[in-house]
Amino acid sequence: MYNPSEGAEQFVQACYIAAYGKTEPVAKVTFRLTCVFYTKNRRVVDVDNLWKLVADALQGLVWRNDSQVWDVGGTHREVDKVNPRTVVTIDRSGY
Question: What would the pLDDT profile of 22-77 be if each residue is shown by its tens digit?
Answer: 999 988 899 999 999 999 999 888 898 899 999 999 999 999 999 999 998 888 99
Measure the CA–CA gap between 17 and 12, rounded to whole angstroms: 9
Q: Quick check: 15 pLDDT over 90? A: yes
What are the phi and psi torsion angles at 55 (to 5°)?
-60, -45
CATH code of the domain in which 77 resides? 3.30.1330.70
Name the pLDDT band for 1 (thresholds 50, 70, 90): very low
pTM, 2 dp: 0.86
Name the domain count of the chain: 1
In a domain, 2, yes or no: no
What's the domain range around 77? 8-92
